Structure 1
Amino acid sequence: MKPSWNLLAGLYPFGAGAMAVNLFFASLIGSWLGWPVLTPWQAVAGGLVIGLPATYAFACHIAGLMQKADDR
């Protein structure tokens, strides 16, 4: 089920924020392996990019649930 633009626009700030937090904490875990730790600004920039496909996947799931609820 393809989500509407309104649903995507409403969920994107949450998806981008969640991805930014996850990316930042993943870089902290990566520091145990000697990888560099991202700055918060780098994590936010990465979250804005990675948040697009994550939000789309979640919005498809929500649209499917909405369709299933309408069918009942």
Structure 2
Amino acid sequence: MLRFATDLTVPFSNNLAERDVRPVKVQQRASGGCWRTLEGLADFAIVQSYLSTASKWGLDTLDALTRLFTTGPWLPPAAQPV
């Protein structure tokens, strides 16, 4: 419970996790409280996950989308094939 006190790499709060969930809840609220299809929810989650990961690696959201549609998806350095 107090892991951050002994391990300085662990953040003090879970604010980052809450920020990742926020766009989903905002979209759900804007659409009347439900998703029209499960496929639409899956598509939204994939795009949000991709953009969240790119921004955590310091990549601009617009740059990540531009790369996605021009040269292919961006992958973190450790996940690129060798």
TM-score by length of 2: 0.31
TM-score by length of 1: 0.33
- Larger RCO of the pair (alpha carbons < 8 Å, separation 6+): 1
